Amino acid sequence: MPLRLKQMMDAANASVPRISPSNAREMIAKGNTLVLDVRDGTEVAASGKIAGALHVSRGLLEFRADPDSPAHDKNFNEDKTILVYCGSGGRAALSGKLLKDMGYNHVYNLGGFKDWVDSGGEVEK
């Protein structure tokens, strides 16, 4: 039977804990944290991103996160806590599951960018 979006989302939500913006701020304050924006470039250009976040669109995530890839981004480190967000949390959940499958163990779904903004979180344009 083919895998459908609902099953992928259920698996992602089961393996990647969702956290609040206040929890995220606490984790960021502790250090050794990568905040990851997986939205498309047009979304980031229109709204900005969480201050200090790394933008890697979901379509390029595997290439940037894999240490054996020529396109690897050195910001990805299996020892870091990774907080993933997108527009509403769906792509963040799927991206978080992918990262966990790739060996990143400390991955959390921060949800949507709007949640961060509404909570008073710092944004950079």
> Is residue 58 in some structural domain?
yes
Domain encompassing residue 58: 29-119
Query: What averages of pLDDT result for each successive group of 10 residues across the chain (125 residues)?
Result: 92 97 97 98 97 97 98 97 97 98 97 97 95
Cβ neighbour number for residue 95 with a 10 Å cutoff = 27
Beta bridge partners of 84: 36, 109
Domain contains 2: no
Assess if residue 20 is contained within a domain.
Answer: no
What pLDDT score was predicted for residue 106? 97
**Within-domain flag for 14:** no
Write the CATH number for 111: 3.40.250.10
Q: Are 106 and 81 in contact (CB under 8 A)?
A: yes
DSSP β-ladder status, 49-50 and 123-124:
antiparallel
pLDDT given at position 1: 77
Closest CA to 124 of 59, 35, 22: 35
Examine residue 88 and state whether it is found in any structural domain, yes or no: yes
pTM, entire model: 0.95
**10 occurs within a structural domain:** no
Number of domains composing the chain = 1
